[in-house]
Amino acid sequence: MDNLSLKIDKRLINNIIDGDQIAFKRLFDKYYDYAFEVATLYCSFHEAEEVVSDVFSKIWNNRSQLAEVSSFKGYLFMSLKNQCLNYLRKKKIDTVDIEHLFDSAAMQESSPQQILESNELTESVEEVIENLPPKCKEAFKLVREDGLKYKEAAKQLSITENTLDVHLKKATKRILEVIRNYGQIIILMFFIHFK
C-alpha cells in the first residue's frame, strides 16, 4: 500500500474516532470489496455479507481503538479472520487448519514467484468472469463488484433472490475451478495483498 493511501486512511480514521459517519462510509466503501472477498474464502455469499457487516459494525462501535492502528488493511484482515473463524465455529466447523492458513499467508513475505502467480490468478479470474453467461455475469458483478445486497441485485435484474443465488453459485463454481489450480497461500496472498 502506498504512502498516500496510508495517509488518507489515517485522516479518515482520525475523523471516524471523532464520530464522523461520512468518513466511516468512505472507509467502508474503500475496503468493502476487499473485505467481502476475504470473507468469501470461507463463507457463502450470504454469510460473507453478514461477516463483513458485523466486522464494520464492530469497527464503528469500537472506533476509539482505531487510534492504535498503524495499518487499517491489516487490522481489517485480522478482524475478518476472527469473525470468519467465530462464524465457522458456531457452525461446528473445525477451524484449526483455516487459522494456520490465515496466519501463514499474513506473515509470509511475497516472493517474486508468488507475486507472479498471484497476478496470473487475477488475470485468470477476470477472464472467467468476462466469459460467464450474460445474466450470470451481470448478477455476479452487481453483488461482488458493486456491492449490492441480494434483494437489490435481484430487483435490478427483475429476477427472484433464488434465481440470483443460482447465478452466483454458477459463477463461484467456475471461479473456484480456476482457483483450485493455485496453492492456498497464493490464493490468500491474492486477497490480502492485491485487492
Rg (CA), the chain: 17
Q: For residue 32, what are the contacts with CB-CB under 8 A and spacing of at least 6?
A: 52, 147
Query: Residue ranges per domain, the chain?
Result: 3-107, 112-193
Q: Above pLDDT 90, what percent of the chain?
A: 20
CATH number 1.10.1740.10 given to 3-107 = yes
Neighbours of 118 (CB within 10 A): 21
The amino acid at 78: M
CATH 1.10.10.10 fits 112-193, yes or no: yes
Identical fold between 3-107 and 112-193? no
- Nearest-CA neighbor of 74 among 31, 116, 17? 31
pLDDT tens digit sequence for 15-63: 999 999 999 999 998 888 888 878 877 776 777 888 899 999 999 999 9
pLDDT of residue 60: 94
- Does this model's pTM top 0.75? My answer is no
- Let me know how many helices (H) and strands (E) the chain has, helices first: 10, 0
pLDDT under 50 in the chain at which residues?
Answer: 94-101, 105, 107-108, 185-186, 192-195
